[in-house]
Amino acid sequence: MARAATTADAFNAVAEPRRREILDALTQGERPVNELVDLLGLAQPHVSRHLRVLREVGAVVVRDEGRQRLYRLNPQALKPIHDWVASYQHLWEERFDLLEDVLEDLKEEH
């Protein structure tokens, strides 16, 4: 078995930096493909394929407008990722709490 398809889930889709760039660009609002091509400095077919992947995992939705296709962000698709990492957040934040506790103790000793 090879590596999971990039379209397998949001985790795989978003592992590609260019696709994150596309999503980042779409936070500003709906955009046609050509605008993304300019923004990313990638070849058009390449952008189209990245968009396909993002569409397949539900991270973006398309809308036809004349001969353009407007892509829009669908942020919900990223929620599973957020939920997963969020469960680790307290683990790296604990260090600060510990530090604070120590500082608190030091202050009280004064």
Partner DNA sequence: CCAATGCATATCCATATGGGTATATAATCG
Partner DNA sequence: CGATTATATACCCATATGGATATGCATTGG
Residue 2, judged by CB atoms within 10 A of its CB (0-12, 13-18, 19+), counts as: exposed
The partner in contact with residue 81, picked from a second copy, DNA, none with C-beta cut-offs of 5 to 8 angstroms by kind, is a second copy
- What is the contact mask toward a second copy in residues 2 to 21, using x (rule: CB under 8 A)? -xx-x----xx-xxxx--x-
- Contact between 107 and DNA by CB under 7 A: the answer reads no
Contacts of 74 (CB under 8 A, 6+ apart): 58, 59, 60, 61
Interacting residues toward a second copy by CB under 8 A: 3-4, 6, 11-12, 14-17, 20, 23, 27, 73, 75-76, 78-79, 81-82, 84-89, 91-92, 95
